[in-house]
C-alpha cells in the first residue's frame, strides 16, 4: 500500500494512504448485518456527510477517516476495515454530530469485536492485557511517572501498595475464568 501527499485548503500537508484497487471478490454483502449483530447501528443509513471525520480528534492520525471506514462497511469491505488501526478514542464526538444517528463510535467498537473474533488482534492490545495481569494496570509502572507524581504531591500508584497483590490475583482469576486470555492469545501469561 503506497502513500500519497495531499495539501488541504488550510495549507496542511498530510501523507495519505493511496487508494486501493478493489475487486468484487473482496466484498462481503452481509457485513453491515454483522456489524448490527455486534452492537453497531445500520451503516447503510450513513449519508457520507463527513461530519464524523470533521470532528474526530484522531482523524489526521489514521489511515482511513471515520467517514471512509463507514463507507467500507457499506461496501462490505470487511478485510480492509478490520486492518484499520485501532486508534478510535471512543470520545463519541462523531455521535454528537451525526445527522443519521449512526453513532460511528459504536460501529468502531463493533468492528473491534469482529476483529477479535477473527483473530486480528494488534500487539498493543496484548501488551496492555499482559500489563494488566502483571501490574493491575494496562500501562507498565514507570519510575519517571512516579517521580513526577511525588513532585506534585500525588499519592503513590496503587500498584506500590502491598495489598494490591490481592487485586492483581483477582484480575488474573477473572481473566482466566472469562476466557479472555484464550480469546486474545495470552493464555500462558495468566497466573494460576
Ligand atoms: S469516537 Fe472515535 S471515530 Fe468518533 S470522533 Fe471519537 S475518536 Fe473519532
Ligand atoms: S456523520 Fe454520520 S451520516 Fe455523516 S458520514 Fe459520519 S456516519 Fe455518515
pLDDT tens, position by position, 26-71: 889 999 999 999 999 999 999 999 999 999 998 877 777 899 999 9
List, for residues 138-157, the tens digit of each pLDDT value: 888 889 988 999 999 998 88
Helix axes 164-178, 123-135, angle to 10 degrees: 130
Nearest CA to ligand 2 atom 2: 98
CB 159 within 8 A of CB 135: yes
User: Is 102's C-beta closer than 6 angstroms to any atom of ligand 1?
Assistant: no
Looking up cell 495519505, which residue turns up?
Answer: 16
More confident residue, 34 or 160: 34
- Give yes or no for residue 100 CB within 6 A of ligand 2: yes
Test site for ligand 1: of 70, 94, 107, 109, most ligand atoms within 8 A of the Cβ? 94
| CA-nearest residue, atom 2 of ligand 1 | 88
Q: Is the CB of 93 under 6 A from ligand 1?
A: yes
Quote the pTM value: 0.77
- The residue nearest atom 1 of ligand 2, judged by CA position, is 98
Q: Where are the domains of the chain?
A: 23-117, 123-189
How far CA 123 is from CA of 85, 103, 126, 128, 179, in Å, comes to 11, 27, 5, 9, 18
Amino acid at each position: 500500500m503506497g502513500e500519497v501527499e495531499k495539501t488541504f485548503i488550510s495549507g496542511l500537508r498530510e501523507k495519505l494512504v493511496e487508494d486501493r484497487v478493489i475487486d468484487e471478490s473482496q466484498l462481503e454483502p452481509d457485513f453491515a448485518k454483522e456489524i448490527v449483530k455486534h452492537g453497531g447501528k445500520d451503516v447503510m443509513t450513513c449519508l457520507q456527510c463527513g461530519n464524523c471525520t470533521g470532528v474526530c480528534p484522531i482523524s489526521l492520525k489514521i489511515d482511513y477517516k471515520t467517514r471512509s471506514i463507514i463507507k467500507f462497511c457499506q461496501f462490505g469491505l470487511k478485510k480492509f476495515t478490520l486492518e484499520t488501526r485501532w486508534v478510535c478514542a471512543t470520545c463519541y464526538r462523531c455521535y454528537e454530530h451525526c445527522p443519521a444517528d449512526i453513532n460511528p463510535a459504536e460501529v468502531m467498537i463493533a468492528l473491534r469485536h469482529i476483529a477479535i473474533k477473527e483473530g486480528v488482534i494488534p500487539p498493543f492490545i496484548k501488551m496492555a492485557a499482559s500489563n494488566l495481569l502483571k501490574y493491575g494496570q494496562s500501562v507498565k509502572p514507570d519510575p519517571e511517572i512516579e517521580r513526577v507524581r511525588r513532585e506534585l504531591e500525588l499519592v503513590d500508584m496503587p500498584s506500590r501498595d502491598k495489598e494490591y497483590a490481592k487485586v492483581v490475583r483477582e484480575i488474573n482469576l477473572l481473566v482466566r475464568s472469562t476466557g479472555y486470555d484464550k480469546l486474545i492469545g495470552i493464555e500462558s501469561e495468566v497466573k494460576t
